[in-house]
Structure 1
Amino acid sequence: MKKWTMLIVLLLSVAAVMGACSSKNAEDVEGGKNSDVKQELTLNIKTEPPSLDPGLATDTTSAWVLDHVFEGLYTTDEDGNPVKGVAENVEISEDGTVYTFTIRDDSNWTDGTPVTAADFEYAWKRVLNPETGSRFAFYLYYIKGAEEYNMGEGTVEDVGVEAIDEKKLKVTLNAPLGYFDKLLTMWTYYPVKQEQVEGNKNWSTDPATYVSNGPFKMTKWAHDSEIVMEKNNDYYDASVVKLNKVTFKMVNEATTFYQMYKTGELDLISSLPMDVLEAEQNNEEYLAVPRYGTYMYIFNVKKEPFTNEKVRKAFSLSVNRELVVNTINKAGEIPAYGMVPPGVSTPDGDFREVGGEYFKEDAEEAKRLLEEGMKEEGWDKLPEIELLYTTSEGNKRIAEVVQEMIHKNLGVQVKLVNQESKTQLANVNQGNFQMARMGWVGTFVDPVINLDYFLGGSPNNRTGWVNEEYDSLLSQSKVEQDDAKRYDLLHKAEKVLMDDMPFIPMYYYSSTYLTSPKLENVAYYVNRQPFLKWAEKVD
């Protein structure tokens, strides 16, 4: 683990440097050597974003667009650190529970009207409104009265969010929260304009009705084809935005978008085709950045045979992760034997290193567990098993190898079912699955953001697994002010999760990119997609 921790630290440092490097002098941009370069960029978002409504989005594809067209009270700098965004100033009470934010006077919507404190109050309370059905409402539970209102046990008036006047927003938390500034960079906390949202239920699907407040504005959405966004001249920090136009293509076939990059049709691509990955690693345009997330297969614990804990463990122990990352992906991923990725510094060291590995692959132990589980349930044979995975070359190849390993080590045949992302997610949300490929990337770097995924009350926990001890430990961690004690609670929670194992952790992500040498100042974050606020084209 020390080897991996050192590697992660090194790569995170490289990523931070890459995100912040090549900063240009004002004369280079304003009428200098790049003044005659067409500031237009084309990249690949792969699939249709499921939702561009900040209150409803739950996926990284939608978030990639949202992070460019909206901005919250806090945003991120070139290194990925939280900095004040729409908030010009913040006052915090002595006990750390009351925040008073002052909204910038020069913060405007894309229709030219000012962003107000009431826009934030409306947006947050809309997320919490049970009728909205936001799957990320629980991220606002840190706010006083938020959980009670969302669960139908309180009123909207009891929620600790209040627009004192046009520019001051008062937020009352249940307890002090050391990472509240990081949380506020998340898209679920973005403002929305009430009259726009309530005036048209489809407001977020049509550029003609799409009002936002970020560095870019959406001007075109050809569904399943492309999204176009252009520089937002009403953005308060518009002077640092160099790109005039960004086009997100939706090309899911890896070989196709790779060829589009090679012919100059795309300026940046991620998730390189596996058959070219090794060759491209010597290319100066290649970059691998650790990603703070986990690739996994989740179980539906309410459907046989995964109602049995020993059967779940048997499947997990039968899969060789080293083989997947070293012979299939080969992009710097790290085999996962827990939920929380490396990269979190704690008083005792890296969280992952301190927590260690909760299990190891063991075909013989897997067989024994499977036999015991079947005996406990009185099963002579297992029911037919399906694994749902989303369309992509990488997902397909990994699923095929996992299928082969399970058959070889357990004698169990798994049927693979390939579905487009939106369809697969809908089926998983409805519980129409036994096993399903999922991934989770923390919106900020803290173990709680990863472990929250499996909370009993989290809409993102599609496994059906609920454990009161687990939920209690996470709840305690969110009010614990002593860092050492907080991380200890999170370690205990992760152990409970791994003992029950409602999922198969496969590996911790690494993102691979090819970026045109004519493109500079892209911020490559470990927990978000590349950010283009400072990006520019050069000769």
Structure 2
Amino acid sequence: MRLLTRAVRRMAAPALIAVTLTGAGFAAPAAAEMLLNRGNQAEPTSLDPHKGTDVQSARIGYDLFEGLLTYGSDGTVVPGAAASWEVSEDGLTYTFKLRPDGKWSDGSPVTAHDFVFAWKRLVDPNTASDYAYFLWPIKNAEAISGGQMQVDSLGAEAVDDFTLKVTLKEPTGYFLGSLVHRMTYPVQKANFEALGNSAVGAGKLVSNGAYMLAEHVPQSHVTLVKNPHFRAAGEVKVDKVVFHHSDSPETELRRFRAGELDTVQMAPVTQIDWLKSNMPETMFFYPVFATNYMPVNMTREPWASNPKLRRALSLAIDRDAIVEKITKSGERAAWTLTAPGAQGYTLPLPEEASMTQAQRDELARKLVAEAGYGPGGKPLQVEIMHATNENTRKIMVAVAAMWQQKLGAKVALNNQEWKVVLQKAGEKDYPGLTSLGWIGDFPDPYTFLKIYRSDVGKMNRSGYASAEYDRLLNESNALLDPEARMAKMAEAEAVLVADAPMIPIYHATYRNLVSPKVKGWFENPMGVQPTRYISVE
């Protein structure tokens, strides 16, 4: 994470030439000289640049598009479509100079008008993007999303074709770093004005990244082909990349062993010991800026009015047993939503983090009794909704067993497809808890803490609403002093942890499996490995 943070500070330096792409209607290479087959977990939620909310969509999006900032070959943040930028002394105005040779995949130039159009589309309530809040630091963006102002009032303007001027509503310390996230990337204005939402289809999507969308077969795969108009096309080795989708990590491993997949994003936890003994040369296991956690539905009882019950459930989970006996890949027990790694940020650990598990269990039983549940009280019934894959199932089975054994709870497990889990979680349409993970969108604690603001809609999967929490986050974002800002965010997270609308379980690692013939794969704390830097022998 320190490496990424340093990179953000360097980004005002002049960059290389812009990323240019060719897109809609361009034929795939007659004979792909180099093919990469990537295991990409479950079917992505959407290929629409403003609607895909999961990491599966993100991996594809980072190959198709490039933003003002982007990822370099070592995972650091580097200039992308922007050649340079300036920030006013008051921290309110950002002026970006785009690369004049940047092109879309149809050969037309990437302009500031495209960025303005894309950002207006993101915050437009008609788009209904779960990520609209991403641009709320920009003047009038939040009011636009709420339907109080017109889209054209957004504080982003094209001064000329290659100059983008952005005005913020107040100084926002994380704004520049957040522009590496794909939700801030451009879409081609002419393409979307002509085709509307159908512009995201294969053969129609115009993109400005290293690849073009050639094919999408739902529940099977997405195929991208190299863009010959990309500014660094001579450096891009892979001609065609296929993202294969499956709900089963075990299936991905079988295909990897058979040579049908060159990479797997997450090796199954059931096979870690076997992999260590038989295929250690393929294992790329490393910590990422991510946390696996369980949102509690704060719109339902008994959870909404029972903080003692919520805390008891958290205390009774033996996190060390989960990471040592189930995941076994270097994960770290979590007591905060924010993962370790943000430079200058001290995690606000609760007192139970320093307790023994026996002490936690004793306190959990005491809190359950005080809440009126357990022996002599009301029966404690809990339902956990989780995705249909063996990795998650094993962890949730363990959690259920702990609650049953220690608290006398009756726990039901409800497995659903990944898309269904995200949809129901966003709508708060689950009776108890669900299992989710969050990987940072950019290297800053706010990327975690923002998803529990009361005003971010579906991204707040618990329905948590705390005026104090929102106030502290607002105050932190207005601070220009980095140390003071981090301290204020830690205050906010301490409130979140004490209120317990979510239960952190562990800070994650990525369990990549990579064939020895794949070169250029790198460990990125943000979990992004753009295909443009990879080759296959």
TM-score (norm 1): 0.89
**CA-to-aligned-CA distance 1:160-207 (integer Å, 9 cap, x gap):** 100112221111123334443321111110111233224334425521
Shift of 1:292: 0.5
User: Which of 235, 240, 249 is equivalent to 1:245?
Assistant: 240
Q: Which residue of 2 aligns with 1:324?
A: 322
Deviates more, 1:58-67 or 1:237-246: 237-246
**CA-to-aligned-CA distance 1:269-299 (integer Å, 9 cap, x gap):** 1221223212323612211111111101111
User: Which of 298, 303, 314 is equivalent to 2:300?
Assistant: 303
Matches within 5 A, 1:67-216: 67-203=62-198, 205-216=200-211
Contact 1:37 1:537 in 2 (8 A): no
Q: Which residue of 2 aligns with 1:4?
A: none
Q: Which residue of 2 aligns with 1:257?
A: 252
Contact 1:74 1:82 in 2 (8 A): yes
Contact 2:41 2:265 in 1 (8 A): no
Distance 1:519 1:461 in 2: 38
Q: Which residue of 1 aligns with 2:21?
A: none
Q: Which residue of 2 aligns with 1:18?
A: none
Distance 1:380 1:179 in 2: 48
Matched, 1:359 2:344: no
**CA-to-aligned-CA distance 1:481-532 (integer Å, 9 cap, x gap):** 1122111101110110011100110000001112111111123311133222
Matched, 1:294 2:286: no
What RMSD in Å do the two structures reach over aligned CA positions? 2.2
Matches within 5 A, 1:268-287: 268-281=263-276, 283-287=280-284
Shift of 1:391: 1.2
Q: Which residue of 2 aligns with 1:521?
A: 520
Contact 2:381 2:409 in 1 (8 A): no
Q: 1:204 to 1:334 in 2, by over 3 A?
A: farther
Q: Which residue of 2 aligns with 1:535?
A: 534
Q: 1:383 to 1:410 in 2, by over 3 A?
A: closer
- Structure 1, unmatched stretches of 5+, are 1-7, 14-35
Distance 1:244 1:411 in 2: 57
Distance 2:80 2:489 in 1: 30
Give aligned-pair identity as a percent.
33
Matched, 1:482 2:481: yes
SS at match of 2:372: helix
- Structure 1 runs (4+) greater than 6 angstroms displaced: none
Contact 1:225 1:249 in 2 (8 A): yes
Distance 2:295 2:144 in 1: 30
Contact 2:97 2:164 in 1 (8 A): yes
Shift of 1:214: 0.5
| Paired letter, 2:526 | N
Shift of 1:380: 4.5
TM-score (norm 2): 0.89
Contact 2:316 2:402 in 1 (8 A): yes
SS at match of 1:281: helix
| Paired letter, 1:342 | P
Distance 2:196 2:32 in 1: 40
Shift of 1:9: 8.5
Contact 1:389 1:418 in 2 (8 A): yes
SS at match of 1:292: strand
Q: 1:126 to 1:115 in 2, by over 3 A?
A: same
Matches within 5 A, 1:330-369: 330-346=328-344, 351-352=346-347, 355-360=348-353, 361=357, 362-369=360-367
| Paired letter, 1:392 | N
Contact 1:96 1:177 in 2 (8 A): yes
- Structure 2, unmatched stretches of 5+, are 7-30
Task: Give aligned pairs, total.
Answer: 501
SS at match of 1:323: helix
